[in-house]
């Protein structure tokens, strides 16, 4: 079954000339694309966008990766994938810091109100109960540690992204698809 004169032997009715069903356009019959074409790696603009998504932890940790992920998902797959990783990582750390801050407020107010009636009758009403400071310092320490972990992993990811290597944050490997 041959096609019209001048067309590839894989011509099939209903398909563009040179395209056969089941083959990638232009590379019919199992031939690989010429050198320099195809999936050669991310472009410089993709590397730059991906690196900026990871470094956005310093200026727009959730918004910038979300915008790049949604805007570039069809045209620049590497930048989109890295933006998706950065978005979920920054969002999860923002949620953890928010939960720690709420925990600190709950601890402070429950401890402060629980100690109101324990002061003796002759005690100075302006005295400060310092028993809740270790708990507050511990929660501040947790928030600082979370922030440092976020910054360190974001810098590592940015370095990998600027080099064009795919990076997956720890515990976010399920986002690779």
Cα 33 to Cα 21, 22, 39, 43, distances in angstroms: 17, 16, 9, 18
DSSP string, 39-96: S----HHHHHHHHHHHHGGGT-TTHHHHHHHHHHTTT-HHHHHHHHHHHHHHHHHHHH
What pLDDT is stored for residue 171 in this prediction? 76
Closest CA to 61 of 153, 161, 166: 153
What residues contact residue 75 under an 8 Å CB cut-off, 6+ apart?
none
> Which of helix, strand or coil describes residue 16?
coil
Q: How far apart are CA 162 and CA 4, in angstroms?
A: 48
Closest CA to 91 of 63, 120, 50, 130: 63
Q: How far apart are CA 32 and CA 41, in angstroms?
A: 16
What pLDDT is stored for residue 9 in this prediction? 52
HSE-CB at 76 with a 13 A cutoff on CA atoms is: 21
pTM comes to 0.66
Q: Within the chain, which residues score under 50 in pLDDT? A: 3, 7, 11, 15, 19-24, 26-30, 32-37
> pLDDT tens across 5-50, in order?
554 555 455 545 554 444 445 444 445 444 444 556 888 989 999 9
């Amino acid at each position: 079954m041959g096609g019209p004169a001048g067309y590839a032997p894989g011509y099939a009715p209903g398909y563009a000339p040179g395209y056969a069903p089941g083959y990638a356009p232009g590379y019919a019959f199992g031939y690989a694309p010429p050198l320099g074409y195809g999936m050669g790696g991310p472009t410089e603009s993709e590397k730059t966008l991906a690196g900026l998504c990871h470094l956005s932890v310093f200026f727009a940790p959730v918004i910038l990766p979300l915008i790049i992920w949604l805007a570039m998902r069809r045209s620049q797959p590497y930048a989109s994938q890295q933006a998706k990783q950065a978005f979920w990582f920054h969002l999860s750390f923002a949620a953890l810091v928010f939960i720690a801050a709420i925990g600190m407020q709950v601890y402070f107010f429950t401890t402060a109100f629980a100690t109101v009636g324990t002061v003796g009758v002759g005690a100075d009403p302006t005295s400060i109960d310092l028993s809740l400071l270790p708990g507050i310092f511990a929660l501040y320490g947790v928030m600082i540690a979370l922030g440092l972990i976020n910054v360190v992993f974001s810098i590592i990811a940015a370095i990998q992204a600027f080099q064009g290597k795919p990076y997956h944050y720890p515990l976010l490997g399920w986002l690779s698809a």
